[in-house]
Amino acid sequence: MNNYTFTDKELFENWNVDLSSDYPDHPYELIDAIIVPRWGVYDNGKLQVSSALQRMNGHLKHNPPTEINNLEYDYEIDECFYISHMNSGHWGHFITESLARFYHVFHNCPTKNILVNVFEDGIYLKNITNVLEELGFNIVYINPNHKNIKVEKLYFSKPTMINCYQVIDKHIDTLAKYRNLTCEVNPIKNKKVYLSRTKLTKHKRWTFGEEDLENMLLNAGWSIFHFESISLSEQLSIISGAGILTGCIGSAFHNMMLSPCQPKKVVYLTNNEKDTNPNYALHDRVLKNESIYYACQDCIDRGAGINKIRNPQEVFEYLEDACK
């Protein structure tokens, strides 16, 4: 199969995405609602869809019932802002899904009481805890196995991003707030930047042929970075100062949503338009990035995310031409 390029237009034609940008100025406010931790918020027995975990095509993960009659509860609290489905163990999901529920926390939050439902614990939970405490919030954590909770006055936000489905401009506002509270960015100027994954373990998210491509790029004066080994401040400083930014498509590119400045050009090395996650096109549309997708890989193991670059020499030549 020959290598070829495609754009967000082809991606959006192959994925059922939502390009709308409507977003409420205020969070949802419910009286005497019940939190069912493994599913979401129920008002008069009806599921509030925005409180559930959604993914591609607006699909509701965990298969929550949309209506429950005679819903019982074990605890009562007066007031809280509810953050459902916290995933603090994976950076990509943390910034695309968990922080997607924080817009109104960072923008005129109506209460100082935050209830966080931790679906996956990890290193980023301590970080967001420090951020919230510095802002004067009182935080209580539960998990999906917690018993049902009735809340006299409950607030929660519509997600500003739904994986593989939608990115609203408010999501960038939220991530900018998070960035300003957690790190400092000083752009590092590099004309040609490659984000490498060659130091990751080979059993998952590995791309055969990337090491060969990387060696060619190094010899041609490209700056190679392994984001898993440097701080967030450094990562954002590199993105902010990049002329052309490229690499095998993956979570590192989500950090453009956190960056105060964008690269002049972005080239994603990927498979075809049917197998390429539309998240990048969705956020680049909001960021107004000039992005191109170069289909130069074959899938070896879809479940493990293992791919193979068909012709590293041809990819190298394409990237060199893209710099001109």
164 occurs within a structural domain: no
DSSP notation for 273-295: TTTS-THHHHHHHHHT--EEEEE
pLDDT on residue 56: 78
48 occurs within a structural domain: yes
23 occurs within a structural domain: no
133/254 same-domain check: no
pLDDT in tens, the chain (324 residues): 799 999 999 999 999 999 999 999 999 999 999 999 999 999 999 999 999 988 877 788 888 999 999 999 999 999 999 999 888 888 999 999 999 999 999 999 999 999 999 998 988 998 899 999 999 999 999 999 999 999 999 999 999 999 999 999 999 999 999 999 999 999 999 999 999 999 877 666 789 999 999 999 999 999 999 998 999 999 999 999 999 999 999 999 999 999 999 999 999 999 999 999 999 999 999 999 999 999 999 988 887 788 999 999 999 999 999 998
Q: What share of the chain is helix, strand, coil (3-state, %, to 5)?
A: 30, 30, 40
200/294 same-domain check: yes
Number of domains in the chain: 2
318 occurs within a structural domain: yes
Instruction: Please classify residue 160 by burial: count the beta carbons closer than 10 Å to its beta carbon, then call 0-12 exposed, 13-18 middle and 19+ buried.
Output: buried
- The C-alpha atoms of residue 151 and residue 179 are separated, in whole angstroms, by 31
pLDDT on residue 20: 92
169 occurs within a structural domain: no
The CATH number that applies at residue 256 is 3.40.50
pLDDT on residue 88: 86
- Structural domain that includes position 203: 4-15+185-322
190/313 same-domain check: yes
Domain final residue, candidates 116, 141, 159: 159
10 occurs within a structural domain: yes
Domain final residue, candidates 103, 125, 159: 159
pLDDT on residue 319: 98
177 occurs within a structural domain: no
304 occurs within a structural domain: yes
153/201 same-domain check: no
pTM comes to 0.93
- The C-alpha atoms of residue 47 and residue 34 are separated, in whole angstroms, by 10
205/123 same-domain check: no
pLDDT on residue 255: 97
pLDDT on residue 203: 64
The answer to whether 242 and 190 are in contact (CB under 8 A) is yes
- The C-alpha atoms of residue 5 and residue 290 are separated, in whole angstroms, by 13
Sheet with 75-87, strands from edge to edge, namely 46-47, 40-43, 28-36, 149-156, 75-87, 113-120, 138-142
State the CB neighbour count (10 A cutoff) for residue 159: 29
